[in-house]
Amino acid sequence: MTEEHAIQNRIRAALAPYCVIFRINVGAALTPDGRFFRTGVPPGFSDLFGVRRSDGRAVFIEVKTASGRVSKDQKQFLSRMRACGAIAGVARSEEEAIKLIMEG
């Protein structure tokens, strides 16, 4: 398990009282006949998404390690989600994720 996945798991557990949160899984592979394909969501989609229990407001969280950098696609996605009224941001710890949810 990568450090980022470990942080994601801790954040999911910490947010359980406040949100229904799902982790996004993506992948890529070659078919037996040599075709390449990708599964999952568009580039930039947040690692975690769901709804806040108190009001049903959408939540999008991009999880990063202490030194992780947010990509251009991720910044644009978060900005678009906030413009639509969602709670959206970056969290590097459980504390940051809870703060995002409570202040959003």
Give the closest residue to 93 by CA, choosing from 7, 4, 6, 18.
Answer: 7
Query: Which DSSP letter does residue 55 get?
Result: T
Torsion angles phi and psi, residue 53, rounded to 5 = -65, -35
CB neighbours of 49 closer than 8 A, spacing ≥ 6? 21, 22, 24, 58, 59, 60, 61
pLDDT tens per residue across span 9-67: 999 999 999 999 999 888 888 889 989 888 888 889 999 999 999 999 999 999 999 99
Q: How far apart are CA 62 and CA 103, in angstroms?
A: 16
Q: What is the CA radius of gyration of the chain?
A: 15
